[in-house]
């Protein structure tokens, strides 16, 4: 897949899946614009692949819209940034629920809205990939807010695909299983939790960030020209077990 001459906006490109995606895109010719939180990550990414970086806290709706407008125009959008906070359902603080919704569901909506407005205004086609999770389908303990935010992202993906697909912009989601990134360390470092999880994955390992990035690039590319509105497991078969 050749992305030469294409400009791709990747959120959460500082670490993990977003960083792997940004690097793979750059290796295949794309110019990357990165939106993320930590300036140090953006600086090192700029050094590595020449990506332009915009630092913002995606929990802030107005700042998110300003950052999106600053980042545009872009040919493609990867809505990857996401966060988690663990709490049992009975102890889940409302503040955590709101924060996860703001970062994992509201921010992707805002960034996609500005991206799509720009494409539609110019009469140009496009593609968006939202990075969701198998958590949208599975009720993992201590993950209520995260599961809810990813369920919202899947539903939003379908509604966006229906509206924006008619304007030449395809919208899809990838739904990875546990992927070896800093976030996974936060959620899955306890072997009592991760071992049974691993046992349910027929291919026998957690995902490497590059294994998710490959699917994101495919869905962005013209090779996926007939794919619109899907939520694609990248889970080594977890969902069939
Ligand atoms: P990481 O925590 O490794 O990286 C997330 C990136 O998003 C970081 O660069 C982070 O910046 C940025 N980010 C997070 N919150 C904000 C915020 N409020 N404002 C701006 N930037 C922010 O996560 P992953 O790479 O693991 O996750 C990427 C996506 O994949 C997420 O949407 C996640 O839900 C999803 N996912 C991850 C799985 C996993 O097991 N790792 C499994 C399934 C889905 P900073 O560090 O500076 O805050």
Distance between Cα 4 and ligand 1 center (Å): 26
pLDDT 10s digits, 61-117: 999 999 999 999 999 999 999 999 999 999 999 999 999 999 999 999 999 999 999
Average pLDDT of span 11-30 = 98
Q: Residue with the nearest Cα to atom 32 of ligand 1? A: 82
Burial of 4 (0-12, 13-18, 19+ CB in 10 A): exposed
Both tokens of residue 64? 């998110």
CB 11 within 8 A of CB 108: yes
Backbone angles phi, psi at 212, to 5 degrees: -80, -40
171/103 Cα distance (integer angstroms): 19
Average pLDDT of span 169-175 = 99
Is ligand 1 within 6 A of the CB of residue 182?
A: yes
Q: At what angle do helices 144-165 and 107-122 cross, to 10 degrees?
A: 10
Boundaries of every domain in the chain: 7-230
Both tokens of residue 22? 């940004």
98/103 Cα distance (integer angstroms): 9
pLDDT 10s digits, 99-114: 999 999 999 999 999 9
Q: 3-state class of 43 per DSSP?
A: helix
The topology (CATH level 3) of 7-230 is: Rossmann fold (3.40.50)
Is ligand 1 within 6 A of the CB of residue 216?
A: no
Cα distances from 239 to residues 12, 40, 145, 228, in angstroms, run 26, 36, 21, 21
**Active-site amino acid positions:** 146, 150
Is ligand 1 within 6 A of the CB of residue 157?
A: no
C-alpha torsion sign, points 122, 132, 223, 36 = positive
Whether the per-residue pLDDT at 188 is higher than 90: the answer is no
Whether the per-residue pLDDT at 185 is higher than 90: the answer is no
Taking residue 134's Cβ as centre, other Cβ atoms within 10 Å add up to: 19
Residue 241: predicted pLDDT: 86
The helix (run of H) or strand (run of E) holding residue 152 is helix 144-165
Residue 70: predicted pLDDT: 98
Distance between Cα 122 and ligand 1 center (Å): 31
Q: Which residue has the tokens 């999770």?
A: 133
Q: Which residue has the tokens 């026998």?
A: 204
Q: Is the ipTM of this complex over 0.90?
A: yes
Burial of 192 (0-12, 13-18, 19+ CB in 10 A): exposed
């Amino acid at each position: 897949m050749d992305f030469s001459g294409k400009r791709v906006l990747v959120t959460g490109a500082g670490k993990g899946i977003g960083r792997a995606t940004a690097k793979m895109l750059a290796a295949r010719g794309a110019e990357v614009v990165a939106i993320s939180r930590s300036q140090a990550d953006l600086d090192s990414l700029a050094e590595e692949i020449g990506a332009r970086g915009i630092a913002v806290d995606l929990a802030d709706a107005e700042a998110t819209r300003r950052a999106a407008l600053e980042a545009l125009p872009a040919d493609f959008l990867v809505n990857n940034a996401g966060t988690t906070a663990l709490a049992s359902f009975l102890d889940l603080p409302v503040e955590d629920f709101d924060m996860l919704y703001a970062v994992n569901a509201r921010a992707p909506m805002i960034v996609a809205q500005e991206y799509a407005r720009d494409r539609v205004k110019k009469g140009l086609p496009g593609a968006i990939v939202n990075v969701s999770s198998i958590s949208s389908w599975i009720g993992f303990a201590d993950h209520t807010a995260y599961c809810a935010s990813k369920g919202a992202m899947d539903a939003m993906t379908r509604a966006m695909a229906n509206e924006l697909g008619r304007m030449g912009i395809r919208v899809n989601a990838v739904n990875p299983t546990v992927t070896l990134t800093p976030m996974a360390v936060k959620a899955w470092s306890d072997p009592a939790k991760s071992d049974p999880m691993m046992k349910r994955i027929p291919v026998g390992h957690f995902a490497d960030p590059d294994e998710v990035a490959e699917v994101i690039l495919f869905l962005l590319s013209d090779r996926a020209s007939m794919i619109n509105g899907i939520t694609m497991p990248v889970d080594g078969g977890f969902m069939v077990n």
